[in-house]
Structures are given as C-alpha cells and as structure tokens.
Amino acid sequence: MSTILGPGGTQQIFDFSKSNLVLMVGGQILFIVFLLMIVFFGTVPLSFPADAVRNMISRNNSKS
C-alpha cells in the first residue's frame, strides 16, 4: 500500500483508491449476505449436511 499525503501534508494510513474501495465494499456486502443466510437458515451455508441428505435419499428409494 502506498502512502499518500492528506491535507496539510499529513500522512494518511489508508489508500482509498477506487480499486480498494470496490474491494472493501464488496467484502462488506458478502459479509452481510453471509450473516443474513445464518439468520434466515440457522446454519452456516458452508457446512452442508451431506449425511442427512444421503439418509433422506436412501429412505425415499426404499419406500418405492
């Protein structure tokens, strides 16, 4: 990250160029979507219950 000079020649810590701003806003949007999925679905969307799905499919196949 390059250091840029702010008003009065003071050094700013953060470089808010357009690319960094897009990445920052995109990360915040993904974080909010992730939190909403946890609130609405009650589980972390990355943990997929594969065993429960496998058992459900095998029970449906055994009925027919």
The CB density around residue 8, as the number of other CB atoms within 10 Å, is 5
Q: Tens of pLDDT along 5-52?
A: 656 666 666 666 777 788 888 889 999 988 888 788 776 555 566 677
Quote the CA–CA distance of 37 and 39 in Å, as a whole number.
5
Give the predicted TM-score (pTM) of the model.
0.39
Quote the CA–CA distance of 37 and 43 in Å, as a whole number.
8
Question: Strand, helix or coil at 49?
Answer: coil
The CB density around residue 34, as the number of other CB atoms within 10 Å, is 13
**pLDDT band for position 55 (50/70/90)?**
confident
Where are the domains positioned within the chain?
4-63
15 contacts 1 by C-beta, under 8 angstroms:
yes
